[in-house]
Structure 1
Amino acid sequence: MMYLRLLILALLLVVTGGHGHAEEETKERPLFRDFVGLCGHTVNFKPDLYWPVCRVVRDYHPVKWDLGEDSSKLPEWPFAKNRVDWSKIYGSWHAKGFKISVCLMFDEMHEEWKDLDKDAYAYAKSFAEHFGPGGKWPYVETVELGNEPGLYDDAKYRKIFEAMSRGIREGNPLMKIATCNIEVGESKRYWKGTGVLAGFEDKYDVLRIHRYAIAEQWPVWRRSYPEDPQVPFLSAIQELLHWRDEHAPDKPVWVSEFGWDSSTKKPDPKGEWSKWVDSTDEEQARWLVRSFLIFARMGIDKAFVYFFNDEDEPKLHAASGLTRNYQPKPAYHAVAWMLEALKDYRFSKVIRESLEDGYIYEFAPEKDGEPVILAVWHATKENEGHEFEWEEAGKVLKAERMSGEDGEAVGLSPSIKGSTMKIEGWGAPVFVWIQR
């Protein structure tokens, strides 16, 4: 059975150029303002700076901060036991307009629970009561039960999952519950296999997966472009979507981490990261935007860039920020351009989808009468032009190529003869506004 499923998946990837849809999907996709997310971290996240690039923030929330050395004693909310004031942190994000998902990271607690069942239940219940919808500080919409909890074996993860989900459901039925990083198959160090969720269908609302387009593993860690069918990026996400359809229909799937490192520095040739290879700033920008477009097409409910900021360190996951030392990178401007254009739009249909001939996706407006937006790009011709030609009924209002380092989009003029449109596309996506 597993061999047959993998064979079918492989055939789908060949047919569609990499992401597993042979036919049009009819289920309505989320609007981009509810779709585009960013991974942040507590006191370092700056709401005003990151508002242009996301509307949903995912916070890494250390349970150890809240419970300290004694898991049986709850914090004096809104303060963690280390005196971080969650009402101020999450309150400032909420006031800006962000939707917030809190990832409860409890790896550091794996040997420190005095009574795991009792304490995890009480902690989750209390957190949900105080910070969930309708609570005293009603800032958190979703709680994620673990990030990459590899220090817990499957049995122990199920135990804490059951205790926390029970506490959240009782403490605040309005709060959504998301899984940790989940993949189809067996559990590994950085994710749990879907088997840990057996029998828990009523205990969670969202499935989460982390995925990076890694073409070469340790010690190189080189990443490829998102559409690359040779890397298990889109295919692993698609496999979880298939699993969802069979085992947990109607539950949304989030890509809660994805991204590319880009640094201005080279690694120490004598250090442990000497062979590490990053992407360019321009590649990071293009590939993030194209990933968002493809995730929307696949039916992902939310997608979160990892990471919000970096300090320009040339090593794995240390140069993935949209900002570098809080200064916008090209990726920041590119994602901001995408979100500004598509915030009131959702994926509508595929016009073209091919590694050889390029991609054209249509995005439909929330309000009737507004123009549609076509996203046009080529996956394998990153730095050379590729002429797109297709039949189009409608008036072209404008066309722009993705913004670059200065944040300014490049205006384009498509060639139109009768009902045939021609436009030059590159690895950097082009948006075309069309009134129909």
Structure 2
Amino acid sequence: MKKVYPLISLVLFLFLSSLAGCTQDKRNYGEIKPLRSKQVKMKDMFGINGFEWDFYDAHNNFDSAKFNIIRNFSGFRHFLDWERVEPQKEVFRFNHKPEGGWSYDEIYEKCMRDSITVLVDLQVTPNWLINTYPEGQRQRDLSPLPYGAKKDLPKSYIDIAKAGFQLAARYGRNKNIDKKLILVPKESASPVIGLGYVKYLESSNEPDKWWRGKDAEQSPEEYAAQLSAFYDGHKGSLGAGVGVKTADPTMMVVMGGIAKPNVEYVKRMVEWCKKNRGMKKDGKVDLCFDVINYHMYSNDYTGWFAKFRTKNRGVAPETNDMTEIANSFVNYAAELGNMPVWSTETGYDLGNKSSQRAIAIGSKSKEITQADWLLRLGLLYARQGLDRVFYYQLYDNNEPGADDGGTFGFSGLVDRSKRRPAADYIRQVTKLMGDYYYLNTINKDPIVDVYQLGKKRMFVLAVPDEVDRKEKYSLDLQQAKKALIYTLQPGKDAMSVKEVAIPNGILELEVSETPIFVEAKL
């Protein structure tokens, strides 16, 4: 009889092991702890890039219908061509309406009042500065300094630093500015300052633009010199009326989003600051930016900084190197005292020849795939701890049918006057759980993310693939008797919702590459 006990023990062990194997994809949500102290809100993953004319009709009247579309997004990154606010050197204008044009005051005020975070990206070198170059070297993407000036000296960038001061003086929160420093001739009798509409300014776009030649590309050290001037007039050494912080110390300076998402660029900028700006009293480097910013499009042409692939199209965000690259920036930001990290350009194109095109998958059109991938990209960045994301872009650059093979021709989330599925999804997710913040991830494939708001939790589930794969998952909702399952709907303002009973607290789900959302009903 004694010989039977080991056999019984073995059978019991195997039985318990089999039970464990059956339940390994469950997770008691009462045990889930926050992954990090930072609380990344879902809605902050859904900003958009665009232009001033996106707010106006053909007669330069503010277009409420267009604005209603923009209101689907939590942030607006404004591509502001420098010359539009400074058409002549040291002559500024911000309200073009009296002459029949756009009003930046109106745009930024409308956004501020509707809780849309505005990031003003001052980009494109103005003609009056371009014309200092020999004719054969003139182009719109020149680095913002006069011909012959040294690119590694802050004083060479005094012109864009003065423009930063004027923007911050007008749209920042400081009302105690010497009005003699305001360079808006049409308002000389009563200059407008301290409107409080804008909190973030970005100096240039993709300063590492190697594809435009040496007069457009800046090394990290050269761009840090520009930012030092733009930030605070290189610690005040460039005189009055120079630098964003000189006008409004509360204004946040966002570094220009780098096109090559390599954290070493930022590290070299920090080293430049350490050498040329020194240390603060608290022992930290006196940096000349408040937000780290990089661009990355999820395609397979990433050979210059990561692994090379050959599909010549966009790929699902989890199948690229976006996670590792995001981690590299977030981890370095932690070393700088948890500086915010943004990605101000990312997205997918719908052009048939684009190297970052979304593709049809199974029964899903390329528009639905674009929506799936963009939404999952926002979820990925929230998971990794980025603070804000802005998609490229609101409307297409190309007219319908004009597929010229360009990379960015049909990247719009809006098709003229109506939302594409990607914008539908963003609206629906924001409406359902915009203020929920990322808590943790309890499963990797399918991905199961947990978001929280007060005592409420939302589970977001998706398969991280691009082959129409589906997976079964058992979600442990503990004591819940019912659950609400929310499903995305192209062309709708809100998700569909289905209430299901779960007598044992375990919800059996089929998860696809389109995220689904689950809320326990206690």
253-262 vs 314-323, which moves further:
314-323
- Structure-2 residue corresponding to 1:180: 256
Q: Closer, same or farther in 2 for the Cα pair 1:291/1:324, shift >3 Å?
A: same
Distance 1:378 1:413, change over 3 A: farther
Equivalent of 2:461 in 359, 370, 376:
376
Using the alignment, how far apart are the partners of 1:143 and 1:209 within structure 2?
15
Name the aligned partner's letter for residue 429 of structure 1. P
| Paired position in structure 2 for 1:214 | 299
How much has 1:278 moved relative to structure 2? 4.1
Residue 439 of structure 2 corresponds to residue 421 of structure 1: no
Task: Give the 3-state SS of the residue equivalent to 2:502 in structure 1.
Answer: strand
**TM-aligned CA distance change 1:373 to 1:145, over 3 Å:** same
1:345 equivalenced with 2:441 (yes/no): no
Aligned to 1:47, which of 67, 76, 85?
67
Instruction: Determine whether 1:105 maps to 2:123.
Output: yes
Counterpart Cα distance in 1 of 2:325 and 2:100: 38
Query: CA offset at residue 414 of structure 1?
Result: 5.3
1:165 positional shift = 0.5
For residues 248-290 of structure 1, the C-alpha deviation after alignment (integer angstroms, 9 at most, x for no partner) is 2220101111111124xx45xxxxx7x8854310111111111
Contact 1:352–1:360 at 8 Å: present in 2 too? yes
The answer to whether the 8 Å contact 2:45/2:381 transfers is: no
Aligned counterpart in structure 2 of residue 137 of structure 1, from 162, 180, 195 = 195
For these two proteins, the number of residue pairs brought into alignment is: 389
Counterparts of 2:479 and 2:249 in 1: how far apart (Å)?
47
1:375/1:122 CA distance change after superposition, 3 Å: same
Which piece of structure 1 moves more, 404-413 or 251-260?
404-413
Q: Does the CA-based 8 Å contact 1:333-1:405 persist in structure 2?
A: yes
Say whether residues 1:68 and 2:87 are aligned partners. yes
Kept in 1, the 8 Å contact 2:475–2:509? The answer is no
2:375 paired residue number: 289
Asked if structure 1 preserves the Cα contact closer than 8 Å seen for 2:224 and 2:288, the reply is no
Aligned residue runs from structure 1 range 157-236, under 5 A: 157-166=223-232, 167-182=243-258, 183-184=261-262, 192-200=265-273, 201-216=286-301, 221-228=312-319, 231-236=320-325
Q: Deviations over 1:372-421 (max 9, x none)?
A: 11101112265354221132214234101222244553444657351322
1:174, CA displacement in angstroms?
1.1
Q: Residue 301 and residue 217 in structure 1: after superposition, are their counterparts in 2 closer, same or farther (change >3 A)? A: closer
- Seen in structure 2, the aligned counterparts of structure 1 residues 31 and 278 have a Cα distance that, compared at 3 Å, is closer
| Aligned mates of 2:112, 2:503 — CA distance in 1 | 49
Question: Aligned-pair distance for 1:296?
Answer: 1.2
Compute the displacement of 1:25 (Å).
2.3
Identity of aligned residues (%): 17
Q: In the aligned structure 1, how far is the partner of 2:477 from the partner of 2:114?
A: 40
Describe the superposition over 1:307-346 as per-residue Cα deviations: whole angstroms up to 9, x where unpaired. 1111445431221111112321111111111111111211
TM-score normalised over the length of structure 1: 0.80
Among candidates 408, 411, 417, match of residue 320 of structure 1: 411
Contact 2:52–2:102 (Cα < 8 Å) also in 1: no
SS at match of 1:26: coil
Measure how far apart 1:89 and its partner are. Answer: 2.5
Is the CA contact 1:131–1:137 (under 8 Å) kept in the aligned structure 2? Answer: yes
CA displacement at 1:211 relative to structure 2 = 0.9
Report the RMSD for the aligned CA atoms in angstroms: 2.9
Describe the shift of the 1:181–1:374 C-alpha distance in structure 2 as closer, same or farther (beyond 3 A): same
Moved over 6 A (4+): 80-83, 217-220
Quick one: structure 1 residues 321 and 394, their matched pair in 2 at CA, closer, same or farther if it must change by over 3 Å?
Answer: farther
Q: 1:59 aligns with which of 78, 84, 92?
A: 78
User: SS of the residue aligned with 2:37?
Assistant: coil
Whole-Å Cα distance in 2 between the matches of residues 426 and 175 of structure 1? 43
State the distance in 1 between where 2:440 and 2:222 align.
43
Distance 1:203 1:64 in 2: 24
State the secondary structure of the residue aligned to 2:111.
helix
Distance 1:276 1:136 in 2: 41
Q: Which amino acid aligns with 2:290?
A: D
Pairing partner for 1:93 from 111, 116, 128:
111
Kept in 1, the 8 Å contact 2:486–2:497? The answer is yes
| Cα distance change on mapping 1:111 and 1:50 into 2, 3 Å | closer
Amino acid of the residue matched to residue 222 of structure 1? R
Residues 43 and 89 in structure 1, CA contact (< 8 A), matched pair in contact too: no
Change (3 A) 1:202 1:152: same
Kindly provide the amino acid, as one letter, of the partner of residue 51 in structure 1.
Answer: R
Answer with 1 or 2: which has the greater Rg.
2
Please point out which of 403, 420, 428 is paired with 1:329.
420
- Displacement of 1:423 in angstroms is 1.1
CA 1:359 to 1:414, structure 2 compared with 1: closer, same or farther past 3 Å? farther
Consecutive unaligned residues of structure 2, counting only runs of 5 or more, are 1-32, 56-65, 126-139, 148-154, 175-192, 210-215, 233-242, 274-285, 304-309, 360-365
Residue aligned with 1:363, SS: strand
Letter of the structure 2 residue corresponding to residue 260 of structure 1:
Y
The aligned counterpart of 1:245 is 334
Structure holding more strand per residue: 1
Find the aligned partners of 1:251 and 1:105 in 2 and give their Cα distance: 23
- State the shift of 1:196 in Å: 2.5
Instruction: Report the CA distance between 1:153 and its aligned residue.
Output: 2.2
SS at the partner of 2:318?
Answer: coil
Shifted more, 161-170 versus 195-204: the winner is 195-204
Separation of aligned partners in 2, 1:133 and 1:35: 26
For residues 287 and 521 of structure 2, the distance between their equivalents in structure 1, rounded to whole angstroms, comes to 44
- Per-residue deviation, 1:168: 0.8
C-alpha change, 1:342 and 1:408, in structure 2 (3 Å) is closer
Q: 1:380 to 1:282 in 2, by over 3 A?
A: same
Aligned pair 1:393/2:478, yes or no?
A: yes
